[in-house]
Amino acid sequence: MKTFQPKLFTSLKGYNGKQFTNDLVAGVIVAIIALPLSIALAIASGAEPAQGLYTAIVAGFVISFFGGSRVNISGPTAAFATIVAGIIATEGFDGLIIATIMAGIILILFGILHIGSLIKFIPTTITVGFTAGIAVTIVIGQLKDFFGMSFGGASPIEAMEKIEALIENVSTFNPVGFIVGAVALAILFLWPKISKKIPGSLIVVILGALIVAICKLDVMTIGDLYTIESGFPKFTIPEFSMDKVVSLIPSAFTIALLASIESLLSCVVSDKMIDDKHNSNTELIAQGLGNIASGLFGGIPATGAIARTSANVKNGGRSPISGIVHAIVLLLVLLFLMPLASYIPMPVIAAVLLMVAYNMCEYKHFFHICKTAPKTDVIVLIITFVLTIIFDLLVAIAVGLAFALLFYLIKSPKTEKREKLK
């Protein structure tokens, strides 16, 4: 298998008008799904709402063009929210841009060195553990807006600090904001029974904005917190310094590792859906190029998004053209409709992110492992889960891998003894 062979060029052999129509429809539908999610995930990451769209547009286009999967859709994902928020809080947005570009370079090196084939050896207990941990941190981070609360001064970064701030500021609870958020969350849970074509997140965003604007409800909106402007993403080069680059190496490596795992998991899922085989090293190089481009155009880190990729396949997408169409549609929204986002209520954004956390937490898989797996696997799962919440993802993965290796080494001699006895 070649190290770099974009699927766009191989999938266009025998391409016809019917397939283009299917890709066009799928791309538009995925863009509709990605629109509210990109805005919400940017806010959850401590970035400006438009920067979520910059990411979905720039990284989404580049990764689809150069990627190793026919149908993978890339953009901002919930997995990056706490990492990005931490970098912005400590290093500023320039620091995030540098970390994102550095992560892109690391991803390209991963692809060139064929590390894509090694990612699959990361134990399932670790991926499930940190995914569930990230979901919990997202929930904790959204409770403030969901309950219509406000914190005095700068918002805390760590999950434990956020819980303390919630307890200290419980008197700022806004019943109206909570009702708006609760109704939005209820609609999100019930909407799939009504329609699977139109995303519930788009419905609650539109309804929430209309109700709050028409009824003049006392609810915080995106426009109250951010300046919303239309316009093409601007090319910017951050000021690099050796000290800053060195200090950002752990963050860049975390972003690259997570982007690798998430994007390749998304590729594996989509391969089964369309009976195809992705090129993992090409995909990692494309993810690297996409993240470099995202950083240079003011975006945040990007990776393959499993839910958006699945929606792409289910709606007829069978080539990277659908991913390119998705990016172009989002660009048109950014250029002509972006100011309307200022009317979206923050409790609705919180509800959308709570739903994202619910969908990504894999609680059934988590509890299934706890019930059926060996105790050593359960220990690795719990350690990774808890450390993701209390510390950060890099610590959680490193310690989780260390325990997994330790248990493997302890178990190996026993296994060899049994084999000899047989």
φ/ψ bin of 316: left (φ > 0), alpha (ψ from -120 to 50), beta (otherwise):
left
What pLDDT, in 10s, does the model give residues 96-136?
999 999 999 999 999 999 987 777 778 899 999 999 999 99
Supply the pLDDT for residue 377.
94
Supply the pLDDT for residue 239.
87
Supply the pLDDT for residue 2.
78
Supply the pLDDT for residue 228.
86
Angle of helix 17-44 versus helix 81-112 axis, rounded to 10: 130
CA distances from 269 to 71, 158, 308 (A): 10, 32, 12
Please give the structure tokens belonging to residue 352. 């959308």
Residue 211 confidence class, pLDDT cut points 50, 70, 90: very high
Q: Is 221 helix (H, G, I), strand (E, B) or coil?
A: strand
* Alpha helices (H) in 155-248, listed in sequence order: 159-168, 175-194, 200-215, 222-225, 242-247
Please give the share of the chain, as a percent, with pLDDT higher than 70: 97
What pLDDT, in 10s, does the model give residues 13-28?
889 999 999 999 999 9
User: Which residue reads 């248990």 in tokens?
Assistant: 407
What pLDDT, in 10s, does the model give residues 261-317?
999 989 988 999 999 999 999 999 999 999 999 999 999 999 999 999 999 999 999
Please give the share of the chain, as a percent, with pLDDT higher than 90: 79
- How far apart CA 372 and CA 378 sit, in angstroms, is 9
Supply the pLDDT for residue 244.
92
* Alpha helices (H) in 280-392, listed in sequence order: 280-296, 306-314, 321-336, 346-360, 363-372, 375-390
Look at residue 418 and tell me whether its pLDDT is greater than 70: no
Mean pLDDT, rounded, for 50-60: 97
Residue 394 confidence class, pLDDT cut points 50, 70, 90: confident
Supply the pLDDT for residue 412.
67
pLDDT higher at 159 or 348: 348
Supply the pLDDT for residue 118.
77
Look at residue 417 and tell me whether its pLDDT is greater than 70: no
- How far apart CA 282 and CA 290 sit, in angstroms, is 12
Residue 1 confidence class, pLDDT cut points 50, 70, 90: low
Look at residue 175 and tell me whether its pLDDT is greater than 60: yes
What pLDDT, in 10s, does the model give residues 400-411?
999 999 998 887
Look at residue 166 and tell me whether its pLDDT is greater than 60: yes
Look at residue 50 and tell me whether its pLDDT is greater than 80: yes
Task: Identify the CA nearest to 359 among candidates 200, 158, 178, 163.
Answer: 200
